[in-house]
Amino acid sequence: MQLPLPFFPEQASNFAGNVDTLFSFILLTCLFFSVLVTLLIILAALKYKRKTPGEVGSADRGNMALEVGWTVIPLVIALGMFAWGAAVYVNYRTAPKDTLDIYVVGKQWMWKLQQPNGRKEINELHVPVNRNIKLIMGSEDVIHDFYVPAFRVKMDVVPGRYNTMWFRPTKIGKYHFFCSQYCGTNHAIMGGWVTVMDPAEYAAWLSDEGGALNPVSAGEKLFSQLACNTCHLPNGTGRGPSLNGVYGGKASLADGSTIVADEAYIRESILQPKAKIVAGYQPVMPTFQGLVTEEQIMNLTAYIKSLQTQPVPTKGAGVVPAAAGKK
Amino acid sequence: MHRTGELYGQFKTLEQQKDSANLGMWIFLVTEVMFFGGIMLVYTLNRHVYFPAFAMGSNTLSLKLGGINTLVLLASSFTMAMAVWSAQVGKKQLISMFLVLTVLLGFVFFGIKYVEYAQKFHHHLVPGRSFDIFYCSNHPDKCGDISAEEMEVERDLLNKTVALDPDLNAHAQLYYSAYFGMTGLHALHMIIGAGLLFWLLKNSLTGIYTPQWNTPVDTVGLYWHFVDIVWIYLFPLLYLIDRHK
Amino acid sequence: MTMAPQLPEKHYLNETYGIRSWLLTTDHKRIALLYLFSVTLFFFIGGFFAMMIRLHLLTPSGYLLSADAYNRMFTMHGVAMIFFFLIPSIPAVLGNFLVPLMIGAKDLAFPRINLLSWYVYVVGAVFTLYSMVNGGLDTGWTFYTPLSTVYSNSAVAPAVVGVFITGFSSILTGLNFLVTIHTMRAPGMTWFRLPLFIWAHYATSVVMILGTPVIAITLGLAAMERLFGLGFFNPALGGDPILFQHLFWFYSHPAVYIMILPAMGVISELIATFARKKIFGYHFVAAASLAIAVIGFLVWAHHMFVTGQSTYAALVFSFLTFLVAIPSAVKVFNWTATLFGGSISFDTPMLYGLGFIGLFLIGGLTGLFLGSLGTDIHIHDTYFVVAHFHYIMVGGAIMGYLGGLHFWWPKITGRMYSEWLARLAAVVLFVGFNLTFFPQFVLGYLGMPRRYHVYPPEFQVYNVMSTAGASILAIGYLLPMIYLTYAAFYGKVAGSNPWPATGLEWQTASPPPTENFHVTPTVTWEAYDFHNRPELGLEVPGGAAHAPAHGDD
């Protein structure tokens, strides 16, 4: 049933269904009693409305059977709610043995996560679908909380101790996670996305870049992902100059000046490509402002730096060849 | 304002007034139990978690001074009870005499406490930047009030304890935070008690307390006994952990 | 009664004049008015912060306040409302005024301590106000460590000291009530003839006495930690932040019962008076108050289910939490049953009474979702919790307070307010309240965490609803402030018992003389006995008493 307004988050973990069913049970019980009492009050208000100004109510005082009844029945229902909730909770606090363990550190105001093979993420969590995942969590400063509404799970992250939490994602997709223990200024933006992936894709994603993030390989990957390599052909025949040997060399610009091609020059060329055009080339490079993060720019720069030692073509080079003919 | 000894307007009988004052003081003492109870709980939990460090802390306290203070307070409770009795039997001069004794014993307690606190200050055992549980063992010349024999014992104990707890200094600082917190809170209550005793003394000299009416003596007596009982808990908790030779 | 009632010539308001006669009064009725002034001031302050919160949350990306400013708004809203408005409100205003009158006494047992309690409140308030204007406070009213003791850059210490001091005001009030109720009841006023308002305040006082000292020592230790670097709550120094939470909630959970039990006491008075019938199951309602007070001390760690505490502890606290719900349910059923066979009129206090039952019911029932471990994992620290406690605190406690103010306003001032305006305000309040807080239940289940100055855009529609409701709610609160104040000076003279109601407080003039009763009453009737009180001038069926008045039942 599609409602015009959302009421429930997506169900994307093994717990979600259980929690929603328990919630619905408690909701129905509460609705029953609310409606019952409200109707009784309305009924009494209508039936026993004062008829003459001096009228008084009847003299009855109580009824033991009723008292016992409306003590015992709610007690039984309450204990039922307790037991059901306890069962869900015990399950949630008892991680199975075969979990994929991910380490999580919360600090003001970001999350650092580490996958089993060492791959690190910031404010992002990638997990494979239908695997038991265990998060082992600590805090560097104050108490935070890792909360994934679509999974119906959360756990405080307390400095000085580890807390663990487990779940099994059941649906591929991207889901919010939030910090849900007030932790200071940027508590509200200390969140991110949990990406649940097909296991094969997860494995591929995981092994991408091997262990720790290698900036040069990351840059190389980006260079092709962002299609830089379609214009900046290494042999100088592309629409853009070859980047071999560019870093550290002198670039000859269209307005006649020369400039040493350092990190700042590379960064500017990515974000404001029309600022400095290499002589002989058209100002056709699109800007990547807003399309790349600082971290990605650093990776691209690292990759371009690594091209220092590559052979510089005689025609179509990005720099004046410093030692032409070498290599 | 009413003069002490009269029936206050909201009460109907002197007995109602007396009962109210009595009940009021008992309820107040219950709040004090909860108040001290909080910090005693914090102490007890930390002692359980950091037993070696807390035992070390306990061993740096003077059993002699603490023991004397305990006897002093017990004696002061006795003299206080005697003051109440004197009021009940109408021996007016004795009331003042016993009150004076109680105050004097209270001041003996303060004096000894001052000596202990001063010693802790000199030995760098006050929580803060300069806290150092190893200070005296590293600088025996600066801690002249510890005899060579006692220093040996302390050094030995420090070595044993730090082997059990490498973070000894940090955890011993927790002990001392609790020590100053609890004894400080207690001392504050005693100062208030001393003030109340002076007030009682001043009134008793005018002969106003009679067997028919001596509620303030009774009520302050309850308070003083309570403060004594708090010390009876503090002394073993703080001074007597793991005192072996 | 054919003559229009007259104001008595001399009463507690005009017997003495001048600022000194108010600031140095020991009359419980004047002290109640001193408190009325102070708590209303803090209601405005807390309300201002609430307005800032709701206005800011109209858009998902925050347009009104910076993150730090917003964090200060919700923190100071909580501190002002909880410690300086809700906890004192009914006990210090209505309780102070009525407890001696209801039991037939001339004053409380310790009138000077009563005055002292107000001054202690004022000193604590000054410290807290200082904090509010000197950088404010941004730790949340819960002061969790080590955020509050180590990392926060706001004026934590003065605020903590202020709350610490004000706690003693609470303790002194509770002490006074307990002793008064024990020793100063008029002849014939046995325990089971006491109005349920008194039972409620007795239970509340027990909680005040046992709980408040614990928050005092906890905040004291936190202040020491903040100022002098003690380490009990700081993991870097070997301490435990969870210990702070245990100590904090050991008081702060019973504190919510300090806030609701007096309101429940008021509701019993309102229902009985406007249904002209004894409260159904009087003994059970009285016992339920005590049960709530006692069991309320055993459930604190239900605020800590996701801290990583042991599963066993969580199970125990969840179980006890469900137990504490039962006495509240018993009260709701008894109030409802009272209506059957009654003679019901819909004067404003009754509207507040019925509104309370409905809103407290929702608030209390939503507590079940939070007490149940399985659902709590999802909704803890979300807007579901915010909605739950506002239903109880605002829909419950504040409605009880306003209902009581309206009911006893003629006794306090001698004059009556405008009935149609009051009913209008009650309805506006009810509508505004529900629109403000019901959407927050949905927000919470959808996953919007609390204390967020920005939020994902999909949550906006419910936030806008909530803010719209809050504007209506604000009007609902402003109206009584205006017409009650007007009525105090220019309202129609009410007479000693305009409703009429059965309590002893209505047997003396409106406003009462300073000494409350010219002649100490002797009680021979049960509470809410409309059948054996010919002096009320009502039409009792059969003419004579239906059942003889028993001392106890």
pLDDT tens digits, residue range C348-359? Answer: 999 999 999 999
In the A/C pair of chains, how many CB contacts fall below 8 A?
299
- DSSP β-bridge partners for residue A197: A128
In the B/C pair of chains, how many CB contacts fall below 8 A?
102
Split at pLDDT 50, 70, 90, the class of A2 is low
Task: Supply the CATH number for residue A241's domain.
Answer: 1.10.760.10
**How large a percentage of chain C has pLDDT more than 90?**
93
Whether A3 is in a domain gets the answer no
Say whether pLDDT at A264 is over 90. Answer: no
The single-letter DSSP state of residue A169 is B
Rounded to whole angstroms, the Cα distance separating C54 from C464 reads: 9
Mean residue pLDDT across chain A:
89
Of A30, A44, A35, nearest to A74 (Cα)?
A30
Whether C476 is in a domain gets the answer yes
In this structure, the answer to whether residues A116 and A151 fall within a common structural domain is yes
> Quick one: average pLDDT of C362-378?
96
Say whether pLDDT at C381 is over 50. Answer: yes
In this structure, the answer to whether residues A137 and A276 fall within a common structural domain is no
Work out whether the CA dihedral C303, C306, C307, C308 comes out positive or negative: positive
Nearest to C231 among B16, B41, B173 (CB): B173
pLDDT tens digits, residue range C51-108? Answer: 999 999 999 998 999 999 999 999 999 999 999 999 999 999 999 999 999 999 999 9
Domain that holds residue A107: 8-40+66-211
Whether C541 is in a domain gets the answer no
Residue C549: predicted pLDDT:
42
Nearest to A62 among C138, C280, C447 (CB): C280
> Quick one: average pLDDT of B60-64?
92
Work out whether the CA dihedral B121, B124, B130, B132 comes out positive or negative: negative
Task: Supply the CATH number for residue B216's domain.
Answer: 1.20.120.80
Give the chain C residue whose CA is nearest to the CA of B25. C175
Whether C550 is in a domain gets the answer no
Neighbouring C-alpha atoms within 13 Å toward the C-beta of B101: 18
Residue C122: predicted pLDDT:
98
Neighbouring C-alpha atoms within 13 Å toward the C-beta of C204: 33
In this structure, the answer to whether residues A225 and A203 fall within a common structural domain is no
Residue B150: partners with Cβ closer than 8 Å, 6 or more residues away:
none
Is the CB of residue C416 less than 8 Å away from at least one CB of chain B?
Answer: no
Of C322, C116, C118, C294, nearest to C211 (Cα)?
C294
Whether A227 is in a domain gets the answer yes
In this structure, the answer to whether residues A127 and A22 fall within a common structural domain is yes
Residue C502: predicted pLDDT:
95
Pull the structure tokens for residue C516.
């409350």
Nearest to A61 among C275, C278, C540 (CB): C278
Is the CB of residue C520 less than 8 Å away from at least one CB of chain B?
Answer: yes
In this structure, the answer to whether residues A114 and A159 fall within a common structural domain is yes
Q: Looking at chain C, which subunits does it touch, using at least 3 CB pairs closer than 8 Å as the criterion? A: A, B
Query: Closest approach of chain A CAs to the CA of C1, in angstroms?
Result: 12
Residue B244: predicted pLDDT:
64
In this structure, the answer to whether residues A79 and A132 fall within a common structural domain is yes
CA distances to A185, C49, C55, C143, C289 from C453, rounded to whole Å, are 9, 14, 11, 18, 38
Query: Closest approach of chain C CAs to the CA of A31, in angstroms?
Result: 9
Give the chain B residue whose CA is nearest to the CA of C176. B24
pLDDT tens digits, residue range A186-202? Answer: 999 999 999 999 998 99
**How large a percentage of chain C has pLDDT more than 70?**
97
Pull the structure tokens for residue B147.
């005899």
In this structure, the answer to whether residues A170 and A226 fall within a common structural domain is no
| Residue A225 or C209, more confident | C209
Mean residue pLDDT across chain C:
94
pLDDT tens digits, residue range A42-69? Answer: 999 999 999 999 999 998 878 999 999 9
Say whether pLDDT at C550 is over 50. Answer: no
A27 contact residues in C (CB cutoff 8 A): 369
Give the chain B residue whose CA is nearest to the CA of C243. B42
CA-angle at A36, arms to A33 and A42, nearest 5°: 140
Which C residues, 70 through 89, put their C-beta within 8 Å of a C-beta on chain A? Answer: 71
Say whether pLDDT at B215 is over 80. Answer: yes
Give the chain B residue whose CA is nearest to the CA of C237. B170
Alpha helices per DSSP H over chain B: 14-49, 51-59, 63-89, 92-122, 135-138, 148-164, 168-204, 215-239
Residue C552: predicted pLDDT:
37
Residue C467: partners with Cβ closer than 8 Å, 6 or more residues away:
C54, C55, C57, C58, C436
Rounded to whole angstroms, the Cα distance separating B234 from B230 reads: 6
Say whether pLDDT at C400 is over 90. Answer: yes
Is the CB of residue C361 less than 8 Å away from at least one CB of chain A?
Answer: yes
Give the DSSP H or E segment for A259: strand A258-260
Nearest to B35 among C180, C216, C229 (CB): C216
In this structure, the answer to whether residues A202 and A75 fall within a common structural domain is yes
Q: Is the Cβ pair C378, A142 closer than 8 Å? A: no
Rounded to whole angstroms, the Cα distance separating C106 from C117 reads: 19
Kindly report which listed range (A276-285, B55-64, C338-347, C355-364) carries the lowest average pLDDT score. Answer: A276-285
Domain that holds residue C118: 25-536
Q: Is the Cβ pair A154, C377 closer than 8 Å? A: yes
The CA R_g of chain B, rounded to the nearest whole Å, is: 22
Q: What is the largest CA-CA distance in chain B?
A: 69
CA-angle at A185, arms to A182 and A189, nearest 5°: 75
Residue A315: predicted pLDDT:
80
> Quick one: average pLDDT of C106-123?
97
C115 contact residues in B (CB cutoff 8 A): none
Is the CB of residue A28 less than 8 Å away from at least one CB of chain C?
Answer: no
Residue A327: predicted pLDDT:
38
Q: For helices C311-339 and A14-47, what crossing angle results, to 10°?
A: 20
In this structure, the answer to whether residues A243 and A151 fall within a common structural domain is no
When divided into structural domains, chain A yields a total of 2
Residue A209: predicted pLDDT:
57
Nearest to A158 among C307, C339, C365 (CB): C307
Number of neighbouring beta carbons within 10 Å of residue C420:
8
Cis status of the peptide bond prior to B140, with omega within 30 of 0: no
What is the 3 state secondary structure string of A218-243?
Answer: HHHHHHHHCCHHHCCCCCCCCCCCEC
The amino acid occupying position C332 is V
Split at pLDDT 50, 70, 90, the class of A325 is very low
Say whether pLDDT at A1 is over 80. Answer: no
Split at pLDDT 50, 70, 90, the class of A3 is low
The CA R_g of chain A, rounded to the nearest whole Å, is: 32
Whose tokens are 């040069």? That residue is A216
Q: Is the Cβ pair C179, B27 closer than 8 Å? A: yes
| Residue A212 or A75, more confident | A75
pLDDT tens digits, residue range B149-184? Answer: 888 888 988 998 988 888 899 999 999 999 999 999
pLDDT tens digits, residue range C314-343? Answer: 999 999 999 999 999 999 999 999 999 999
Q: Looking at chain B, which subunits does it touch, using at least 3 CB pairs closer than 8 Å as the criterion? A: C
Whether C1 is in a domain gets the answer no
SS3 A26: helix
Split at pLDDT 50, 70, 90, the class of A322 is low
Is the CB of residue A54 less than 8 Å away from at least one CB of chain C?
Answer: yes
Rounded to whole angstroms, the Cα distance separating C317 from C300 reads: 7
Is the CB of residue A61 less than 8 Å away from at least one CB of chain C?
Answer: yes
Q: Which of C110, C116, C183 to substitute to test the interface with B, most B CBs within 10 Å?
A: C183
Rounded to whole angstroms, the Cα distance separating A176 from C382 reads: 14
Rounded to whole angstroms, the Cα distance separating C513 from C100 reads: 13
Rounded to whole angstroms, the Cα distance separating C440 from C463 reads: 8
Residue C71: partners with Cβ closer than 8 Å, 6 or more residues away:
A182, A184, A185, A187, C138, C451, C453
Split at pLDDT 50, 70, 90, the class of B212 is confident
Of A318, A319, A307, A273, nearest to A292 (Cα)?
A273
In this structure, the answer to whether residues A28 and A169 fall within a common structural domain is yes
Q: Is the Cβ pair B27, C175 closer than 8 Å? A: yes
Pull the structure tokens for residue C84.
């300086």
Say whether pLDDT at B185 is over 90. Answer: yes
Q: Which of B11, B31, B46, B51 to substitute to test the interface with C, most C CBs within 10 Å?
A: B31
| Residue C515 or A318, more confident | C515
Whether A159 is in a domain gets the answer yes
What is the 3 state secondary structure string of C483-546?
Answer: HHHHHHHHCEECCCCCCCCCCHHHHCCCCCCCCCCCCCCCCCCCCCCCCCCHHHCCECCCCCCC
Whether C406 is in a domain gets the answer yes
Pull the structure tokens for residue C217.
């020592």
The amino acid occupying position C6 is Q
B38 contact residues in C (CB cutoff 8 A): 213-214, 216-218, 221, 247
CA distances to C290, C307, C326 from C296, rounded to whole Å, are 10, 21, 11
Q: Which residues of B77-101 are buried (b: 16+ CB within 10 A; e: fewer)?
A: bebbebbbebbeeeebebbbbbbeb
Residue A288: predicted pLDDT:
85
Give the chain C residue whose CA is nearest to the CA of A43. C340
Of C209, C28, C18, nearest to C118 (Cα)?
C28
Number of neighbouring beta carbons within 10 Å of residue C468:
16
Which A residues, 144 through 173, put their C-beta within 8 Å of a C-beta on chain C? Answer: 145, 147, 149-150, 152-156, 158-161, 163
Number of neighbouring beta carbons within 10 Å of residue A116:
11
> Quick one: average pLDDT of B191-204?
96
B45 contact residues in C (CB cutoff 8 A): 240, 243
Rounded to whole angstroms, the Cα distance separating B135 from A49 reads: 82
Q: Is the Cβ pair A156, C307 closer than 8 Å? A: yes
pLDDT tens digits, residue range A132-168? Answer: 999 999 999 999 999 999 999 999 999 999 999 999 9
Mean residue pLDDT across chain B:
92
Say whether pLDDT at B222 is over 90. Answer: yes
The answer to whether residues A156 and C245 touch, using CB atoms and an 8 Å cutoff, is no
The answer to whether residues A301 and A228 touch, using CB atoms and an 8 Å cutoff, is no
Residue B29 phi, psi dihedral angles, 5° rounding: -65, -35
Of C412, C417, C409, nearest to C511 (Cα)?
C412
Residue C2: predicted pLDDT:
56
When divided into structural domains, chain B yields a total of 1
A48 contact residues in C (CB cutoff 8 A): 275, 339-344
In this structure, the answer to whether residues A36 and A132 fall within a common structural domain is yes
pLDDT tens digits, residue range C157-190? Answer: 999 999 999 999 999 999 999 999 999 999 999 9
Query: Does C touch B (3+ CB pairs < 8 Å)?
Result: yes
Whether B11 is in a domain gets the answer no
Give the chain A residue whose CA is nearest to the CA of C458. A6
Whether C399 is in a domain gets the answer yes
Residue B65: partners with Cβ closer than 8 Å, 6 or more residues away:
B112, B115, B116
Residue B145: predicted pLDDT:
85
C314 contact residues in A (CB cutoff 8 A): 89, 93
Q: Is the Cβ pair B23, C110 closer than 8 Å? A: no
> Quick one: average pLDDT of A209-228?
75
Task: Supply the CATH number for residue C337's domain.
Answer: 1.20.210.10
> Quick one: average pLDDT of C133-160?
94
In this structure, the answer to whether residues A200 and A273 fall within a common structural domain is no
The answer to whether residues C466 and C389 touch, using CB atoms and an 8 Å cutoff, is no
Domain that holds residue B153: 38-239
Residue A283: predicted pLDDT:
86
